Chain A
Amino acid sequence: MDEPRIGVFVCHCGINIAAYVNVPELVEYAKGLPNVVHAERNLFTCSEEGISAIKRGIKEYNLNRVLVASCTPRTHEPLFRAACEDAGLNKYLFEFVNIRDQCSWVHMREPERATEKAKDLVRMGVAKARLLEPLEEIEVKVAPSALVIGGGVVGMEAALNLARQGFDIHLVEKEPELGGTLRSVYKLFPTNQEATKLIKLFVEQIEKHPKIKTYLSSKVKEVTGFIGNFDVNLDGKGGASKFNVGTIVVATGADKLKPVGQYGYGKMSNVITQLELEERMKKGEPLGQNVVMVNCVGARIPERTYCSRICCMTAIKNASLIKESNPEARVWILHRDLMTYGVDFEKYQRRAMEMGVRFIRYSLESPPEVVGDGKVERIKVYHELWGKDIELPCDMLVLTTPLIAGEDNQDISKMLKVSLDEFGFFLEAHLKLRPVEFAMDGIYICGSARWPTDVAEGISQAFAAASKAAGPLRLGYVKPEAINAWIDEDKCSGCGICELLCPFQAIELQPRDDRRVSHVSEVVCKGCGTCSAACPSGAIIMHHFTNEQILAQIEALFS
C-alpha cells in the first residue's frame, strides 16, 4: 500500500459542534498529525457542498484515506463512504470520528476541554486511518420473496404491493382472520367509511392474488440468516412450515390499553373504552342520552409519556357518529390537548362542534371524577375557562385509551435482532435518514408496530416499507459489509476454538496439506470478531478492526 495521504474534514454541524468545540483550532491541529496532507472545515459536511468538498479533496490532494469528524457513524457513515466511492476511493478507507454526539453535545459547559477531547479523538482516528486497508465486498444472491408479519390492513397493503411487483409473498397472521385491529372498529375517520368494508376490499385481493400465500392462526417461530436469505420457521394451525425469503416486513400493529381500575372501568357497568363503544355502535345497541368521553386515559402521564396520536380523532369521530344517529343525544369530550393535525382533521373537528359535540378541557392535575354508585351517574370536572367545578349527567362513560406496544414485540425483537424503543414499540434505524427500515439489513417496519398510526398513515408506510423491501429483491443480490474475519493459515494451529465460539457456524476446520486449519465462510460471517479475540495464535484478522488498528487508536490517545 502507498504511503497514507489522509484528508481530514471537520464538520461545524451548524452550531451543534462549532458552538462548543473550537473547529478552526481543531483543523489546524489535525494538519500537524502524521500523514495528514489536508484538513478543512465545512459548515455541514453532509450537505451537497460538504460531499463535493470531500470528492474534490480526494482528487486535489490525491488522498488515499478520508476522515470525517462530525456526528456519528451510525447515521452518516454510509453517506461519506458513498462520497469516497464516487471519487474512486475504496469505501473502507474512510474513518469516522464522533465529535458531536459523544463530544460537543455532552460537554457543552466545558468548551475548552471539549476541544481538547476532540483533538484526542481526531488523533486516535488518524492513527486508525493510517492503517486502514481497502476491502472488497462479495455479492450474495437474494431470494425473490418476502415475509410479511401481520395481516392487518397495513400488512395486507405491504403484501399486495410486493406481490404486484412479482415477488412471492408469505403473509402471516396470528389470528384466525385477516384484518387486525380494524376488525373491532366501526367507521374510519375522516371519511366515515365502514372498517369492515375496507377490510373486505383488501382480503378479496389478497385471496385472489396468486403470489400471496396466507398463513392464519400462525406465528413466526424462528428466523435465521441474513438479508437475501432468511430461513423462516412457522408454527400454525395447519402445522409447521418452512421457507426462505429475501426480505421481511414487520406490520404487527399494536395492542389496546385496558384501563382497569380507572374511572370505574371494570367495576361500573356503563364505563367502556372507545373500541368497546364501536362494537356497540356496530350492533346498533343503545347508548343513552348523555355520553361523556374522557381522553388521554393512561396516556401522556408520567408512566406513559407518549401521545398515541389517533385517540383524539377516534373520540371526535365516535362523538359525531352518535350525534348523527341521534341528534338529541348530548355528547361531551373531556380532553387535555386536542391533536387534530392537518386540514382534514381540523375540518372534521369543526364539523363535530357544529353538530353539537361539546369540548371541555381538563388538566392532568385535576382530572374528571366519577359520581355514582355501581353505575356512573354524573361526571364532575373542573372547567378551566369558567374557573369552577361543573357536573355533567352521564349514561355512558367512554374512556379514550392509547395504543400500547404489542405483547409479542419482545419475542419478535429478539428473534429478528431488531430494537425496541423505551415504550416497547419497534425502533427504526433513523427517523429521517432511514425511516421504515430497521438497523438490521433486510428488515422493514410499518404501521402501529412502529408507533400509533391511523389507517391512511399506516398504508403510506406500508407502501414505503414494501418499496424498500423490494429493492434488494429486484436487484437480485446484496453486498454485505466486508467487515469479516480472515484466517492467516500459516499461523493457525488448528486448535478449533474459533469453530466452537462462532455464533453463526461460519468457521470450519478443513484439511490443508498434512494438518487442519480454520476456514471462514465470508457469506455467513457477520463480523462480530469473537473468533479473533479468542484466537490464541493471533491467526485471525478482523477486517476493519484489526489488532494493529485498535492498538494504534489506544496508543494515540496517550501519545
Chain B
Amino acid sequence: MAEFEPKIIVFACNWCTYAAADLAGTSRVQYPPNAYIVRMMCSGMINPSYVLRAFEDGADGVIVSGCHYTDCHYIDGPVKCDAMFAKLKRLVHILGLEDERLKREMISTSEGTVFARVVREFVSELKRLGPSPFSSLRNSRKEKAVA
C-alpha cells in the first residue's frame, strides 16, 4: 500500500502567510505537496465553520495562519482569530479529533522558510497520527452516494 499522504488545508491571510508561501517559492525552499492554501483577506476573516467543514470533508490537518499581532493589515485580526481559534479548539476536541490536527500559526511576509518548515513538520506529525478518523467517514459517505 502506498504511504499515507495527509491532506492539509491552510487558511492563510493574503498579506502575510500567503506572501510567505510565495516567498518560499521565490527562494525555492522545498516542502512536501500536501498543503493547500485557501486565501483569506485577514486571519480575522476565518469563520470557524470553514475549519469544521474542512475536517468534515476529510482534511487530516488544518492550519490557521495570518500575520503577527503587530503586522495585521486590519489592525487586530490576529486577536480575533485567536478568540475564534480557542473556541474551535474545544469544538474539535469534543468532536473527537486529536488536538494536534488543528494548528494556529503566525507567519509574516519575510518568513518563507518558516512557512515551509511548518508544513514539513506538520506533514510528518500527521503521518505519525495517521488519517483523520473523519476521512473514513467521508469514504463511506461517498460509497453510499455511488450506491
Contact = CB atoms under 8 A, between A and B. Distances in A.
Nearest to B76: A503
Contacts of B29: 106
21 contacts: A72-B22, A73-B39, A74-B14, A74-B18, A101-B21, A101-B26, A102-B22, A102-B37, A106-B116, A107-B32, A110-B32, A120-B36, A414-B70, A419-B109, A440-B73, A503-B74, A529-B41, A533-B46, A542-B45, A554-B57, A557-B59
Contacts of B24: 101-102, 105-106
A417 B44 contact: no
B26 A528 contact: no
A551 to B, nearest CB: 6
Contacts of B71: 419
A21 to B, nearest CB: 10
A431 to B, nearest CB: 11
B41 A558 contact: no
Contact of A555 (B18, B53, B70): B53
Q: How large is the interface on A (under 10, 10 to 19, 20 to 34, 35 or more residues)?
A: 35 or more
Interface string A416-438: 01010110000100000000000
Interface of B: 7, 9, 14-15, 18-19, 21-26, 28-33, 36-42, 44-50, 53-54, 57-59, 70-71, 73-77, 80, 84, 109-110, 116, 138
A529 B40 contact: yes
**Which of B32, B41, B70, B80 has its CB near the most chain A CB atoms (within 10 A)?**
B41
Contacts of A103: 25, 33
A295 interface: no
Contact of A102 (B21, B57, B109): B21
Nearest to B15: A439
A528 B7 contact: no
Given A108-B28, A528-B73, A528-B77, A533 B45 contact: yes
A528 B28 contact: no
A486 to B, nearest CB: 14
B57 A557 contact: yes
B109 A106 contact: no
User: Which of A98, A110, A558: most chain B Cβ within 10 A?
Assistant: A558
A526 B76 CA distance: 13
A74 B109 CA distance: 12
The 5 closest A-B pairs by CB, nearest first: A529-B45, A101-B25, A528-B74, A530-B44, A105-B25
A90 interface: no
A557 B49 CA distance: 16
A80 to B, nearest CB: 15
Contact of B9 (A74, A427, A557): A557
A107 B19 CA distance: 17
A547 B7 contact: no
A156 to B, nearest CB: 31
A558 B60 CA distance: 11
A121 B50 contact: no
A188 to B, nearest CB: 33
A101 B54 contact: no
A532 B47 CA distance: 8
Given A106-B116, A545-B41, A533 B33 contact: no
A501 B38 CA distance: 23
B68 to A, nearest CB: 11
Nearest to B116: A106
A72 B7 CA distance: 22
Given A106-B28, A107-B30, A542-B45, A530 B36 contact: no
Contacts of A109: 30
B80 A501 contact: yes
Interface in A453-512: 483, 501, 503-504
Which of A100, A110, A530, A545 has the most CB atoms of chain B within a 10 A radius of its CB?
A530
A108 B28 CA distance: 8
Given A105-B24, A110-B32, A526-B73, 9 more contacts: A74-B14, A106-B30, A427-B109, A504-B75, A529-B41, A530-B45, A534-B80, A545-B45, A553-B38
